[in-house]
């Protein structure tokens, strides 16, 4: 069954503890934290101290999405802060293999993230190093953008290719996932559902998490 990972980027930053606790109580599987450095993406967001604060509020695994240049510089800080899953962008490092190995060496789950324009084949030589792949289905930088339709086929091709290569690597999809498209994208191969605005801008965020869980249950 697909896992649900609410992204706190769309939560009220003055009430992050409440946002995390309500997601956990509603059945979320992971807490997704978007880290932006103002270089790799134009926006500037959350750091290790926020991850440490989230760590104190929940027992759920924390899924840290590093949208930063030279992610290797930051991996130890997020590891110490309590991140459980750490994804880095293939576009942001010249040493993808080394960086993924570093994350695994710290005992964390290592993921490679791909921007919408980045081909899946860039992962070919590091498939054995991956615990998950993160497919960006919007150009990273902000929550609340629309899902890019061509990403659906990219997810399907990635799922089929990973299988054909003989690996079992779950696909996380991030950007523009809503209650009305989640089922279709799960059918294409999404196994970890990141949802920011669909959860935290909903009138009832807990109900939105429950509705995504119900879709995941139905589709599995």
Contact residues for ligand DX5, defined by CB under 6 A: 7, 9-10, 32, 34, 65, 138, 140-141, 143-145, 174-177, 194-198
Q: Tell me which of ligand DX5, Zn ion, none is bound by residue 58, counting a contact when its beta carbon lies within the kind-specific cut-off of 5 to 8 angstroms.
A: none
**Toward ligand DX5, which CB reaches closer, 75 or 208?**
208
Burial of residue 208 (CB within 10 Å: 0-12, 13-18, 19+) is buried
Conformational region of residue 81, where left means phi above 0, alpha means psi within -120 to 50, and beta covers everything else:
alpha
Three-class SS of residue 212?
Answer: helix
Three-class SS of residue 83?
Answer: coil
Three-class SS of residue 118?
Answer: coil
Q: Which residues are catalytic?
A: 34, 174
24 alpha-carbon distance from chain centroid: 16
- CA-CA distance, 178 to 184, in Å (whole number)? 10
**Toward ligand DX5, which CB reaches closer, 170 or 176?**
176
CB of 199 to Zn ion, least distance (A): 13
By CB under 5 A, the residues from 56 to 75 that bind Zn ion are 65
**Toward ligand DX5, which CB reaches closer, 10 or 93?**
10
Q: Can residue 34 be called a binding residue for Zn ion (CB under 5 A)?
A: yes
204 alpha-carbon distance from chain centroid: 22
Tokens 């030279």 found at:
70
CA distances from 171 to 11, 55, 168 (A): 24, 24, 10
CB of 211 to ligand DX5, least distance (A): 14
Q: Can residue 174 be called a binding residue for Zn ion (CB under 5 A)?
A: yes
CB of 165 to ligand DX5, least distance (A): 26
Which residues on adjacent β-strands are paired with residue 34? 65
CB of 2 to Zn ion, least distance (A): 16
CB of 191 to ligand DX5, least distance (A): 16
**Toward Zn ion, which CB reaches closer, 124 or 186?**
186
Q: What is the DSSP string of 131-153?
A: SEEEEESS-TT-SSPPPPTHHHH
**Toward Zn ion, which CB reaches closer, 71 or 124?**
71
Q: Tell me which of ligand DX5, Zn ion, none is bound by residue 196, counting a contact when its beta carbon lies within the kind-specific cut-off of 5 to 8 angstroms.
A: ligand DX5
16-26 helix and 48-57 helix, angle to the nearest 10 degrees: 50
Q: Tell me which of Zn ion, ligand DX5, none is bound by residue 197, counting a contact when its beta carbon lies within the kind-specific cut-off of 5 to 8 angstroms.
A: ligand DX5
Instruction: Please give the residue ranges that form the binding site for Zn ion (CB under 5 A).
Output: 34, 65, 174
């Amino acid at each position: 069954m697909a896992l649900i990972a609410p992204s706190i980027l769309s939560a009220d930053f003055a009430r992050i503890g409440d946002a995390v606790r309500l997601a956990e109580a509603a059945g979320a599987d992971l807490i997704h934290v978007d880290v932006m450095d103002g270089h790799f993406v134009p926006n500037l967001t959350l750091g290790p101290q926020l991850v440490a604060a989230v760590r104190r509020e929940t027992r759920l695994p924390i899924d840290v999405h590093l949208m930063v240049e030279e992610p290797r510089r930051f991996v130890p800080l997020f590891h110490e802060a309590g991140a459980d899953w750490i994804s880095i962008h293939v576009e942001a490092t010249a040493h993808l293999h080394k960086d993924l190995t570093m994350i695994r060496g710290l005992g964390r789950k290592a993921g490679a993230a791909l921007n919408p324009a980045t081909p899946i084949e860039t992962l070919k030589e590091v498939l054995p190093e991956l615990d998950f792949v993160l497919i960006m289905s919007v150009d990273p930088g902000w929550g609340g953008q629309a899902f890019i339709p061509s990403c659906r086929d990219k997810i399907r091709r990635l799922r089929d290719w990973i299988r054909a290569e003989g690996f079992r690597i779950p696909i996380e999809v991030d950007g523009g996932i809503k209650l009305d498209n989640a089922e279709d994208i799960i059918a294409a191969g999404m196994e970890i559902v990141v949802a920011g605005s669909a959860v935290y801008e909903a009138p009832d965020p807990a109900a939105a998490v429950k509705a995504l869980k119900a879709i995941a249950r139905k589709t599995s």
